Amino acid sequence: LLGHLGIVQDGVAHYYKASTRRHTKESIFAVHDFKELPRVVILTCYGGMDDMVPMSVVATNPDGLILTGLGHG
């Protein structure tokens, strides 16, 4: 799936798309031979936040970055 899967509003999940196939050993999520997990940073963002923290995180060159937001915006 690409794009938004859906939202949670007022405690209720609303899905925009549904997965039509099961994940298998051929899936992009399949884990085969690896020696260590990637370093992924999870950063919660909010309205009016400056770029100091996100830019500091990016400067550490993480393997992945997940940005979360709050509210209905």
Give the model confidence (pLDDT) of 6-56 as tens digits.
888 888 888 887 767 666 666 776 677 778 888 999 999 888 889 999 999
pLDDT value at residue 37: 82
Cβ 64 vs Cβ 42: under 8 Å: no
In DSSP terms, which residues pair with 40 in a beta bridge?
64
- Please say if the pLDDT value at position 68 is more than 80: yes
> Is the pTM above the cut of 0.85?
no
Q: Output the CA torsion sign for 26, 32, 37, 39.
A: negative
Mean pLDDT along residues 56-64: 95
